[in-house]
Chains A and B, each alone.
Chain A
Amino acid sequence: MNVLQEGLGEIFTDPDPDHAREHFRKKNRALTNKLMTVREAVRRFVHDGDYLAVGGFGGVRIPTALLHEILRQGRKKLGFSGHTATHDNQILAAGECFDRCDIAYVIGLEARGLSPASRRYFESGKVKICEWTNAGLYWRYQAAALGVPFIPGRSMLGSDTFKYSGAKLAECPFTGKPFALFPALYPDVAIIHVHEADIYGNARIRGSTIADQTLARAAKHVLLTAERIISNDDIRNCPSDTRIPYFAVDAVCEVPYGSYPANMPYLYFSDERHLKEWLESEKDPVKHQQFVKELIFDTRDFHEYLHVCGGLRRMIELERLERMIAKPDTYGDEMEALR
């Protein structure tokens, strides 16, 4: 294949499928009980220097409990896949957990604005950067999940995003047209929050699956948090609902409201008031440090964090918002926080 151009960006992970196959060959195939605490999951499977990918979509179905625990346990020098990383990025940047990042979308918080703390971190020079796009990063997961070293595509062509990426431009051997080649991305660890899982890691996701079915198959290790644990019989009674198979999964943690303050489709809406407080605190680095200390470092676990954030009373309000049966004034209050 005739390579026409190469991006200047560094590829942080090994795209060779045979190296990955050596790992997958050794992966456990038995139906093993993988239930454990969030603390144990992070202790066993997330190490300094690992490359981390986060499921969900920044403010939707993110594994908040695992993200917090990565901070509490002081993980550093992680690689990070910035695939629409919004609140997940705010959390990891607050702990200065990563030092290299494949950027598709960071700093921005969609309709909520821009995160000053994330911006400071990315402008500090502490993070090595490689540019991508959301689909580009997705194709990289897809190549890994397929066991091929790259996938051709037409995103990024002609742009500076290509110039500062790790992609290559090559002439298609069939059509003679130029295509961008997206190298396989095998994360060391993927952390994903799901609606339901059994103790072996067979998991269900409702609503949009975003990139998570593919991500779970691309990553070398997968840690799940689930809103609730269901029986293996439940899984077998409706196998078409299984989105992630047990053999991809290394740890299963039961964490109700585990995506708070993000939106968990069909269960609870995002806590816009809390997210706004977080954003406000970021304007002053000292205040922000104190805010994060109180919420994450001074709480023992996710239950304590939920308690600090208003506990069950607040969760019920967010459940009502999600089902759109909240009183209009409550709803107005939520939307007010966005302005």
Chain B
Amino acid sequence: MTAYNRMELMIAVAARLLEDNSIVAIGTGVPCAAAMLAQKTHAPNLMMMFEAGGFAPILPTMPVSVGDSRTFYKALMATSMRDVMASVARGMVDYCFLGGAQIDPYGNLNSTIIGDDFAHPKVRLPGSGGANDLASHAWHSMVITIQDKRRFVEKIDFITSPGYLDGPGARERAGLPPGTGPHKVITDLAIMGYDPKTCRMRIESVHPGVTVEQVKANTGFVLTEADEVLQTQPPTARELHVLRDEVDPLRYVIGR
């Protein structure tokens, strides 16, 4: 078995979840590396969509901005934010990747403030950007993040982007499109999904050398387990080769 680091593992796991001939809205960094890896392995016709208007590029390198010229390099279309956001809104986008400073058991995400007073936050963060738009409309939203008790909390300070809000049926009651919502959370310890009965996060697969107890110990809320918790397959030699030599030769993401 080849040695690998936790970034490489998370990227490989995320890449495997992306199907060929599906449309994925992605940002810069780790999600982009995952989409590139998928495109160069099992999903050559994975269509990447960037919120500023790049659609289905063949990425030469990782973009610095979701609007930079790499996002429409050899693309099928260099269009506009309207076209991309409208496509998400009418149900053409299968997957999106989201991030945040905090995530709760229902997959709600905070990227706006830390603190409990909106007018005087302890820390002001960037805000939604396009994250709320993608979380609201994409069929499946995914999160890739390091897992610890500071990020995984029972109650987040601000719901920037909606997960399952406060449980089953809440998205639909709020007016969000039926059938959409959080899908997977990929961390350095495990893959988590959501219990369909409660809409709460649960462990589905633990990474090599990690125990269920370790995952729970690094989570600030009660985490349940799927009926059968699997063992995550480590990155293959081929995945690592593509990731290191083609996707991120300068170790800009995998070197973190």
B127 within 8 A of A: yes
B161 within 8 A of A: yes
**Interface pick from A37-45, A135-143, A309-317:** A135-143
Enumerate chain B residues within 8 angstroms of A158, measured Cβ to Cβ. 159, 162, 165, 170-171, 173-176
B60 within 8 A of A: yes
B234 to chain A, nearest CB (A): 25
B75 to chain A, nearest CB (A): 9
**Interface pick from B66-74, B185-193, B221-229:** B66-74
Q: How far is the CA of A164 from the CA of B112 in the complex (A)?
A: 11
Closest to B251 in A: A339
Closest to A214 in B: B82
Q: How far is the CA of A207 from the CA of B129 in the complex (A)?
A: 21
8 Å CB contact of A155 from B28, B50, B78, B136: B136
**Interface pick from B13-21, B35-43, B118-126:** B118-126
Contact B132–A105 (Cβ < 8 Å): no
B240 to chain A, nearest CB (A): 20
B252 within 8 A of A: yes
A106 within 8 A of B: yes
Q: Report how many residues on chain A are interfacial, defined by Cβ distance under 8 Å.
A: 67
8 Å CB contact of B51 from A107, A134, A180: A134
Knowing A138-B85, A209-B79, A210-B81 touch, does A122 contact B124 (C-beta < 8 A)?
yes
Enumerate chain A residues within 8 angstroms of B89, measured Cβ to Cβ. 135, 153-155
B29 within 8 A of A: yes
Closest to B166 in A: A158
B152 to chain A, nearest CB (A): 19
A25 within 8 A of B: no
Q: How far is the CA of A170 from the CA of B137 in the complex (A)?
A: 18
Knowing A134-B130, A335-B250 touch, does A164 contact B64 (C-beta < 8 A)?
no
Knowing A104-B129, A131-B112, A178-B174 touch, does A339 contact B252 (C-beta < 8 A)?
yes
Knowing A138-B85, A208-B79 touch, does A106 contact B68 (C-beta < 8 A)?
no
Contact B67–A59 (Cβ < 8 Å): yes
B208 within 8 A of A: no
B73 to chain A, nearest CB (A): 9
Contact B52–A265 (Cβ < 8 Å): no
**Interface pick from A28-36, A109-117, A249-257, A287-295:** A109-117
A166 to chain B, nearest CB (A): 14
A322 within 8 A of B: yes
**Interface pick from A184-192, A219-227, A232-240, A266-274:** A266-274
| A window 121-156: CB within 8 A of B | 122-123, 125, 131-136, 138, 142, 153-156
Contact A159–B162 (Cβ < 8 Å): yes
A213 within 8 A of B: yes
Q: How far is the CA of A103 from the CA of B29 in the complex (A)?
A: 23
| B window 41-97: CB within 8 A of A | 50-54, 60-69, 71-72, 78-82, 85, 88-89
Enumerate chain A residues within 8 angstroms of B78, measured Cβ to Cβ. 206-208, 265
A22 within 8 A of B: no
Closest to A108 in B: B126
Contact A134–B28 (Cβ < 8 Å): no
Q: How far is the CA of A338 from the CA of B66 in the complex (A)?
A: 15
A82 within 8 A of B: yes
A319 to chain B, nearest CB (A): 12
Contact A210–B130 (Cβ < 8 Å): no
Contact A159–B177 (Cβ < 8 Å): no
Closest to A332 in B: B250
Enumerate chain B residues within 8 angstroms of A111, measured Cβ to Cβ. 28-29, 62-65
Enumerate chain B residues within 8 angstroms of A26, measured Cβ to Cβ. none
Contact A155–B53 (Cβ < 8 Å): no
Q: Give chain A's interface residues, CB within 8 Å of chain B.
A: 56-61, 82, 84, 86, 103-108, 110-112, 114, 119, 122-123, 125, 131-136, 138, 142, 153-161, 164, 169, 177-180, 206-211, 213-214, 263, 265-266, 269-270, 272, 322, 324, 332, 335-336, 338-339
8 A-B pairs whose Cβ atoms sit less than 8 Å apart in the complex: A60-B52, A107-B127, A131-B112, A138-B81, A142-B82, A154-B175, A157-B136, A338-B252
